[in-house]
């Protein structure tokens, strides 16, 4: 009898808990904008699954200035060690959508600067959840600013494969172009700099098209995990930064600036 009563009591308790816990808390859906804003994707996190690239260490390119990009996934970074290993610039994730801020942003953005690096911030775009202006303002308000100190890179827009659903976020090419222009114009109005654009050529061709309107004002941060940057999106004759691997001698993703240290400082100065 006692065993039966215990089983009945446990069954009743489990039923009550199932009713009390909302479905969103029990199982957050990555396709819903609310949960999407609360998750954390880093630059290039969508590349291996969409492009069939090999995720892993890659040889350091021979030319250029070595650097890295990080997000909350790297936690508290040992910036002195990264500097001693050869990193001379760092780009730090600040925000995603209009509901996520990197909790490690202060340690990463400030720490890279104090180690001697040129640093910058990037925003992971969710074009289907709010306007370009809304996300640009959220970004600038939460770390995506710029100052002419010669040590701060222009703010960067990370726009790539949708990790939560349709590849192009359900937007037409015309709508995607308009969204990026809206983001860019707002960042420029707030900071005086046009944002650097992080993307992958295949995604850009599919979702933005062959518009060459962004190449003149926006430095290109190209993502390709291979032995070369490969073909570039329309409008760009050359890349500014190449993210060539998602792991290596530095914490986070491995990058190289396409130029000299003096040219990197010139990009920072604007």
Q: Tell me which residues are annotated as active site.
A: 69, 158, 160
Neighbours of 165 (CB within 10 A): 15
Beta-sheet strands, E only, within the chain: 65-70, 89-96, 100-101, 118-124, 156-158, 196-199, 220-223, 241-245, 253-257
How many other CB atoms are there within 10 angstroms of residue 198's CB atom?
Answer: 25
Q: What is the DSSP letter of 74?
A: G
Q: Which residues of 35-58 are buried (b: 16+ CB within 10 A; e: fewer)?
A: ebbebebbbbbbbeebbebeeeeb
Closest CA to 173 of 116, 222, 211, 216: 211
What does the DSSP 8-state code read for residue 152?
B
Q: Which of 105, 91, 100 is nearest to 129 (CA)?
A: 100
Report residue 56 as tokens: 């892993």
Alpha carbon distances (Å) from 221 to 20, 92, 97, 165: 47, 14, 20, 24
Q: What does each C-alpha distance from 135 to 39, 159, 198, 243 come to in angstroms?
A: 15, 12, 16, 23
């Amino acid at each position: 009898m006692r065993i039966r009563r215990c089983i009945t009591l446990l069954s009743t308790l489990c039923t009550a808990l199932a009713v009390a816990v909302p479905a969103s808390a029990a199982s957050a859906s990555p396709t819903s904008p609310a949960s999407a804003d609360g998750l954390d994707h880093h630059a290039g996190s969508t590349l291996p699954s969409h492009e069939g690239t090999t995720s892993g260490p890659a040889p350091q390119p021979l030319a250029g200035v070595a650097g890295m990009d990080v997000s909350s996934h790297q936690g508290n970074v040992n910036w002195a060690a990264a500097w001693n290993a050869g990193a001379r610039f760092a780009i730090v994730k600040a925000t995603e959508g209009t509901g996520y801020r990197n909790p490690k942003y202060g340690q990463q953005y400030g720490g890279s600067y104090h180690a001697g690096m040129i640093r910058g911030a990037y925003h992971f775009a969710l074009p289907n959840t709010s306007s370009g202006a809304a996300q640009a303002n959220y970004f600038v308000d939460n770390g995506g600013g710029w100052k002419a100190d010669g040590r701060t890179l222009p703010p960067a827009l990370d726009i790539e494969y949708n990790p939560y659903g349709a590849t192009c976020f359900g937007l037409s090419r015309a709508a995607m172009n308009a969204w990026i222009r809206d983001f860019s114009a707002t960042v420029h109005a707030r900071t005086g700099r046009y944002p650097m654009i992080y993307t992958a050529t295949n995604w850009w061709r599919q979702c933005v098209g062959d518009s060459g309107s962004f190449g003149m004002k926006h430095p290109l941060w190209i993502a390709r995990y291979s032995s070369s940057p490969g073909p570039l999106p329309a409008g760009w004759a050359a890349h500014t930064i190449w993210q060539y691997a998602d792991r290596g001698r530095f914490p986070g993703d491995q990058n190289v600036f396409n130029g000299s240290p003096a040219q990197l400082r010139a990009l920072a100065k604007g």
